[in-house]
Each structure stands twice: as C-alpha cells, then as structure tokens.
Amino acid sequence: MVQGGITTLFEAFLKKETLFSDKKALQSSYTPETIPHRDNQIKQMADILATSLRLEKPSNLFIYGKTGTGKTLVAKYTTNKILEISKQKNIPIDVFYLNCKLKKIADTEYRLIAQLARELGRPIPPTGLPTDEVYRLFIDVLDKEKKIVILVLDEIDQLVKKTGDEILYNFTRINEDLKNTQISIIGISNDLVFTDNLDPRVKSSLSEEEVVFPPYNALQIQDILKQRSKIAFKEGMLEEGVIEKCSAYAAREHGDARRALELLRVAGEIAERKGASKVKMKHIDEAEEKIEKDRILDIVITQPKQFQSTLYAILNICLKKNGTIFTGEVYEVYKGVCSRIGLHPLTQRRVSDIIAELDMHGIINAKVISKGRYGRTREISLSIPNSNLPKIKNALEEGLDLS
DNA sequence: GTCAATTCACATGAAAGAGACCACGGTCTAGTG
DNA sequence: CTAGACCGTGGTCTCTTTCATGTGAATTGACGA
C-alpha cells in the first residue's frame, strides 16, 4: 500500500510539469559565461596575472569583499582564462584553488601543504608526519620543472584566525627555496580589515596588489537574477515582481548575491512542490523562512552534544522567562541538563566559549555587557524566530535523548 | 555633590594535557621452499 | 628466507582544563563646598 503509493508518487512527480529548465544556474558553484558588474575587477586581476604568461611571477594579490560579492567567482573565472591561454600557447602555468574554511582539508598549515602536495601528485598521509617534512616534500615536487604556480587561497582570514600568520610568512618566503618554480598567491578574504592584524612583513609582501569587491546594490542583483533565471527557469514561470523582491531582500543584507540566488531557487522549489503554475511573491516569504529554519536546524543537529546541551539550557530559560539572560544562569541550568542526560559537565570557561560560538553561528545573540558593581557578563537572547522554536527544541531533545 | 577607588562576575588569553588518529621503523612470528 | 602482524615512538588535531589577567560601570566612601 505505502510502497505502491510511493511508486505512483514518483511517477506523478516525473509527469508533473516542472518550472525549472536548468536548476544548476541558481547554485553557487555555477560559473556563468559573463559576470555582470564586475568588469573592473576582472580587468584589474587580468592585468596583474597577465605577467605570468611571460613566465614572470605575477604580484601577490589580495581580494577583499563581503560574502556573495563574486570574489570567488571572479577569481576562478580569471584563473581559468589564464589556464586556457597557457594551454593553447604551451606555457607552464598551474593554478590551485583551495578553500581554507573546508574542515579536514585545508584548515591547518599541515593540511594545507599536504593538500597542495597531493594535487601535485604526491600522496601525503592525513597525519603522522612532521610539518617541515611535508614542506620539504611539497617543495621537492613543486620544484621539479620550471613553471609558474598561482595559488588561490579562499577565506584566508579563517586560516589565519585559526593558525596564526606564520603560515603566510612561510609562503611569501617559499620562492627563496625554489629554483625553477615561481609561486604567487591570491588571497581572498571576507574580512575588510583582515590585513591590519597581520605581521607587517607578511602584509607588505602579500598584498602587493589589492582588488576590492564592493557589495552589489539592488539593481545589480536584479541583473544577476535576471541573467540566471533566464537559464534556470522556463519562460514565464516567474510572477511579475518576484525578481525585484528577491533582490530587495538580498540588498538589505549587504548585497549578497549568493543569498538572492538561493532565495530564488528555494522559492522555485516550494512553488513546484505545491503544484503552483508560477513562482509567486508569497513563495519568496516562505522560502526565506525555510532557508533560515534549515540553516539553524542543520547547525543544531551537527553540533556535538555539549553545544546542544548549552543551547537547550538557553532555550529552556528563554521559554520560562522573558527578558535577557546571563552566562551564570545558563551555566547552572546547563549543569542540570548534563546530570539529567549523564553528560560530563564542562567548566564555565569552556561553556563561555561555546556561547560565543553559538553567537557566531547566529543562533543566539550574545553581547558582553557590564552590570557595574554586579560584574561583567554576556547578555544572551535567542535569535530564532518564534515560529521555528518548537521544531528546534524537538530536534535538540531528540539529539540529547531527552523525553 | 564630586571624584577616585573598589568590586563583582564574568570575559579573554595562553599554555598545557588528554585522547584519537596516523606513519614509520624495528622486531617477532608463521608459513614457505 | 620473507611477508605480514605487532609494538613503540613521535607526529598532528581537536576538545578541554588550568591558571592568569583584563574589564567596565555601579557602588562606595572620603572629601570639600
């Protein structure tokens, strides 16, 4: 019965008229043919990187801009073009792209070098070797033949925040150890003041050139959405004003194009699932809520138990009383939660860090305030919309085996 | 009333430990000819 | 004799704990008007 039902469901799904023609165009990994409103940046980058075609080392380059301003896209686009030309003309250029935020791949010095060495065809064990040994192996394999290597380090600020700036110092000096190969670095950062905290030596050698990506404004986002939706949706599947609304939402949040695209995609999926003939305005509102809920739920489920317990404690206090709550309170309740589920309670120091991390994820709002004579603490409040609360509480209780 | 000192309740930093994971080289063991 | 099992050492990485230091304004109390 249920099984049979599922078969017909799938069949119906296949028969159903779809709104999309090519959904890929709305995904963040998609690289379009042209990138609107980024001509300046592309030209700047191309000018700088062009030196590599004469087998001279291009200047190190630093790219700034907030999330969703097209940094990664432009970087990939220009480096791909360089690669194309170099292949045509037989110029030995290599481009490596690494996202430093990806856990377990490139978020420490060891892993970064190991990953690079692997891409050059030298297998490196995930752990067990001394870091300088890995450096040596990397340089060995890199220096085999004469070529230019362009190294794109995305979200480089994350890497430095975690491991310090020594790694960049090593990188800027790596050319001294190389006889044949020349390596130049493109650093991409979301953090506009990132270089201010760097060692001055690193700073000067790393950001020989800088390219800034300003946020898109609402009109520019509209252009992008129009361009992509032409590919992604079938003709006439978008209601009048849908694109305008999407871009307005995204422009409100510092012009994040990625967000706008996601919003449009999810809205399309919702409309499709509901059997609507067009993507309507209300679907966008639903999409926004769904994205937010999924985001939080995803974080909540994947976090370790200690995080879940802390969040559960915060959630409970918030439900019981209105107004702001403080670290001390949370810690007391947290200890109670731990004893209920038989979890070894952490020290307050650690819980304090966990609260800070929850704040970073945007699940809670935590602001350090001073209550004068009554000490200094964090003022905590939930930043989850009330409509999503029960689901998240359920997910937590499930994760923690609470009844 | 004014002003500096005090005080609270944590925040924030640094360092170090525990435990998981892993590579490498040396030693032991069992199977083979 | 040799391949594979096993062990010890030394390495990374993440999560924690321990110890130390920092912090901002309400409160306090001395002081002078």
Q: Integer distance in angstroms from CA A277 to C1' C2? A: 73
Nucleotide nearest residue A126, measured CA to C1': B22
pLDDT for the residue A345: 93
Type and span of the H or E element at A325: strand A325-326
Q: Residue A331: is its pLDDT beyond 90?
A: yes
Is the pLDDT at A134 greater than 60? The verdict is yes
Residues 371-390 of A near strand B (Cβ < 7 Å)?
372-378
Nucleotides of B under 7 A from a protein CB: 6-14, 20-24
Smallest CA–C1' distance to B6, residue? A373
Question: pLDDT tens across A72-89, in order?
Answer: 999 999 999 999 999 999
**CA(A144)–C1'(B25) in Å?**
28
| pTM score, whole prediction | 0.81
Average pLDDT, chain A: 86
Positions 218-277 of A with beta carbon below 7 A from strand C are none
In CATH, what class is A303-399? mainly alpha
Report the run of H or E that residue A161 belongs to, with start and end. helix A156-163
More confident residue, A233 or A212: A212
pLDDT tens-place string over residues A142-179: 888 888 989 898 888 888 877 777 788 888 888 887 88
How long is the CA A119 to C1' B26 vector, in angstroms? 32
CATH 1.10.10.10 placement within chain A: 303-399
Of the listed ranges A58-72, A162-176, A315-329, the least confidently predicted one is A162-176
Residues of chain A with CATH 1.10.8.60: 6-26+216-299
Query: Is the CB of A104 less than 7 A from some atom of nucleic acid strand C?
Result: yes
CATH class assigned to A6-26+216-299: mainly alpha
Distance in angstroms (rounded) separating the CA atoms of residues A330 and A311: 9
* Percent of the residues in chain A that have a pLDDT greater than 90, as a whole number: 28
In chain A, which segments carry CATH 3.40.50.300?
39-212
Q: State the pLDDT confidence band at A2, using cuts at 50, 70 and 90.
A: low
Could you tell me which residue, A382 or A193, shows the higher pLDDT? A382
Which bases of chain C are under 7 A from a protein CB atom? 10-20, 22-27
- pLDDT at residue number A365: 92
Mean pLDDT of A277-286: 86
Q: Which distant-in-sequence residues (6+ apart) come within 8 Å of A91 by Cβ?
A: A52, A53, A55, A85, A148
CA A290 to C1' C17 (Å) is 39
Domain A39-212 carries which CATH code? Answer: 3.40.50.300
- Residue the block writes with tokens 């067009």: A278
Model confidence band, residue A403 (pLDDT cutoffs 50, 70, 90): low
**Nearest of A26, A27, A38 to residue A214 by alpha carbon:** A38
